[in-house]
Structure 1
Amino acid sequence: MPAGLRVKQLAVVPNLKMPAFDKKIKETTITMRKLQYCLVLIGLSFCLKTSAQNGFSGKLQVDYVPFSNYVRPVDSLKTGSTSNFKRIQASFSIPLSTKMHELGRPVIWALGLDGSYAQMTNRNYTEKIFPEEMLNAQIGLMHSRPIGKTWSIMAMASVGIYTDMEKISSDDVLAQGGVLFIKHFNPRLAFGFGPVLTNAFGTPMVLPGLYFDWVTQGKYKLHINFPQGMEFGVKMSDVISLNAVVELSGMTAEVNRENKSMILGYQQIIAGLRPEFKISKSLTFQLTAGTTLVRSFSLTDRKISAIFKQKDHADPRFTTAAYGSAALKWNFSKK
Structure 2
Amino acid sequence: MYKEKSLMKKLLMILLILSGKNVFAQLTPVNTIDINTTYVPGSKYIQKDGSLENTEKTQRRIDLGYSFIISNKVDTLTRKINSWTAMVDGSYTQLGKPLNENDLMPHRLFSTQFAVVNYRSIGNKWGMVKLIQLGVNTDLKKFDIHDLFVSGGLIFIKNQSPKFSYGFGVFVANATNAPLILPAVIFQLRTDGKFKFKIDLPTEVSAAYEVNKAMEVKLALRYRNISYDVQNKMNPKRRYLNYMELPLGLEGKWKSKRFDFTLGGGYLFIRNFQLKEGGIKNMFKSTPTNKLNGNIYVNAGISYRLRSASK
What TM-score results when the alignment is normalised by the length of structure 1?
0.78
2: CA distance between counterparts of 1:45 and 1:185? 25
Q: CA RMSD in A?
A: 2.8
For 1:88, the equivalent position in structure 2 comes to: 62
Partners of 2:108 and 2:139 within 8 A in 1:
yes
Does residue 178 of the first structure (1) align with residue 153 of the second (2)?
yes
Which residue matches 1:322? 296
Give the letter for the 1:91 counterpart: G
Q: Which residue of 1 aligns with 2:211?
A: 236
Structure 2: 5+ residue stretches without partners = 1-15
Question: In the aligned structure 1, how far is the partner of 2:47 from the partner of 2:281?
Answer: 25
8 Å CA contact 2:61–2:93 kept in 1: the answer is: yes
SS of equivalent residue, structure 1 residue 130: coil
Mapped partners of 1:114, 1:108: distance in 2: 20
Deviations for 1:256-300, whole angstroms, at most 9, x for unmatched residues?
Answer: 4544363102211111111111122x4322112111110121112
Matches of 1:205 and 1:107, distance apart in 2: 28
In the alignment, the residues of structure 2 paired with residue 234 and residue 300 of structure 1 have an alpha-carbon distance, to the nearest angstrom, of 42
Give the C-alpha shift of residue 72 in structure 1.
3.9
| Contact 1:103/1:146 (8 A) holds in 2 | no
> How far 1:127 moved relative to its partner?
3.2
The residue aligned with 1:260 is 237
User: Does the CA contact (< 8 Å) of 1:220 and 1:233 recur in 2?
Assistant: yes
- 1:79: Cα distance to partner? 4.7
CA contact (8 A) 2:59 2:96 kept: yes
Map 1:125-274 to 2 at 5 A: 127-257=102-232, 258-260=235-237, 262-274=239-251
Distance 1:80 1:45 in 2: 30
Residue 284 (structure 1) aligned to one of 260, 265, 281: 260
1:31-62 CA distances to partner (integer Å, 9 max, x unpaired)? xxxxxxxx87344889xx68xx6x51342111
Counterpart-to-counterpart distance in 2, 1:328 and 1:159: 26
- Deviation of 1:160 after TM superposition, in Å, equals 1.1
- Local SS of the residue matching 2:286: coil
Structure 1 residues 295 and 285: alpha-carbon distance in aligned structure 2, compared to 1, 3 A threshold: same
Is contact 1:80-1:124 (8 Å) kept?
Answer: no
CA distance in 2, matches of 1:126, 1:113: 35
Contact 2:238 2:275 in 1 (8 A): no
Cα distance between partner residues in 1 of 2:264 and 2:281: 37
The match for 1:114 is 89
Between Structure 1 and Structure 2, which shows a larger proportion of helix residues?
1
Distance in 2 (alpha carbons) for counterparts of 1:320 and 1:271: 11
State the alpha-carbon separation in 1 of the partners of residues 47 and 143 from structure 2.
29
Cα deviation for residue 81 of structure 1 reads: 0.6
TM-score, normalised with respect to structure 2: 0.83
Q: Summarize the Cα distance change of 1:245–1:112 in structure 2 as closer, same or farther, 3 Å threshold.
A: same
Partner of 1:67: 42
Return 5+ residue gaps in structure 1 as ranges. Answer: 1-38
- SS of alignment partner, residue 80 of structure 1: coil
The amino acid that maps onto 2:285 is K
Deviation at 1:125, TM superposition (A): 6.2
Contact between 1:82 and 1:122, CA under 8 Å: does it hold in 2?
Answer: no
CA distance in 2, matches of 1:304, 1:131: 24
Count of aligned pairs: 289
User: Would the alpha carbon gap of residues 65 and 40 (structure 1) be closer, same or farther in structure 2, given more than 3 Å must change?
Assistant: same
Deviates more, 1:93-102 or 1:316-325: 93-102
AA in 2 matched with 1:109: W
Distance 2:163 2:281 in 1: 37
CA distance in 1, matches of 2:269, 2:198: 20
In structure 2, distance between residues paired with 1:265 and 1:272: 23
Higher mean Cα deviation, 294-303 or 270-279?
294-303
Q: Please say which of residues 293-302 and 66-75 is displaced more in the overlay.
A: 66-75
